[in-house]
Amino acid sequence: MTLTTLDKNFLYSIAIEKAQWHNRDEGKLEDCISFELNNIDDDVPDHAKIPVETTFIMSIEDAKYLKSFLEVALN
């Protein structure tokens, strides 16, 4: 499943997807979360442009830690 949302100025989109990645150290697949940040279109001002390939991959364990941190920080 992929979740996609836009920022309030309609400059960026972020797609969040649960996926799997290959852990080379252990030689097995592990669940992960992938975050892909993109500009909405080519008319974005230069100061707001992000690199073409901006993808972050995080383990499920780290994503849960981040979720807990954000819950505390945003309350």
20-30 per-position pLDDT tens digit = 988 888 889 99
Mean predicted confidence (pLDDT) in 35-58: 85
64: confidence class by pLDDT, cuts 50, 70, 90 = very high
Residues contacting 30, CB < 8 A, separation 6+? 20, 21, 22, 23, 59, 60
More confident residue, 3 or 73: 73
Q: How many domains does the chain have?
A: 1
- Decide: pTM greater than 0.75: no
More confident residue, 17 or 51: 17
Domain that holds residue 8: 2-74
User: What integer pLDDT is reported at residue 73 of this predicted model?
Assistant: 94
